[in-house]
Amino acid sequence: MTSPNYAALKAAMATGGQYAGMTDAAVLSAVNAATVTQAVDIPISAVTQALALGGLLPTVKGWANAPPAVAGSVTQEASTAAATFGFIVGPPPLFNSLQMSVPATATAISGMVSALVSAGLLASTIADALLGLGAATVSQASLWGFSNGVYENDLIAARALS
């Protein structure tokens, strides 16, 4: 568990800060509202559920052993992406989660999904649903380590920092 970052809260309320000049009530409302998009890891169970609900889970699992042939709109990139997704969902699953919180991994996964969509192997609605699992909307307070939100006493403590 992360300790609350009172220094960040103080800086945000200081002159030139994001919440400068706001009333305490306005600061509390702003920092406690879920308005910040953050990348989160996607459990493989959520990936398999999204694929199952889209009717694609058996197809995707089959790609591990027999990826789509390179022809027409199926590029080598799409074929490789299909095989990789087949291995990812298993059985057994290759990973516990897709680490979308790691920028390089998020970029790679997004690229593979785009290749599958471009090749017509994955509907854009399912792709959007899958990639959407990798984002969560959280409060600024939680990013600063205030797991239960910022309260008036926290504002007082932040301002008291030297």
The average pLDDT across 24-29 equals 97
Task: Give tens-digit pLDDT for 87-118.
Answer: 999 888 888 999 999 999 999 999 999 999 99
Which residues fall within 8 angstroms of residue 69, CB to CB, at 6 or more apart? 79
Q: Helix H segments across the chain? A: 6-13, 24-32, 44-53, 57-62, 76-89, 103-118, 124-132, 140-143, 152-160
The average pLDDT across 31-41 equals 96
Give the bridge partners for 142, in sequence order.
none
Residue 31 has pLDDT above 70, yes or no: yes
Domain-wise residue ranges, the chain: 6-38+138-160, 41-133
Task: Give tens-digit pLDDT for 43-67.
Answer: 999 999 999 999 999 999 999 999 9
Local structure of 120: helix, strand or coil: coil
Q: Give percent of the chain with pLDDT exceeding 70.
A: 99
- Mean pLDDT taken over the chain: 95
**Residue showing tokens 């960040």:** 8
- Cα(79)–Cα(95) distance, rounded to whole angstroms? 20
Task: Give tens-digit pLDDT for 131-142.
Answer: 999 999 999 999
Local structure of 42: helix, strand or coil: strand
The average pLDDT across 71-79 equals 95
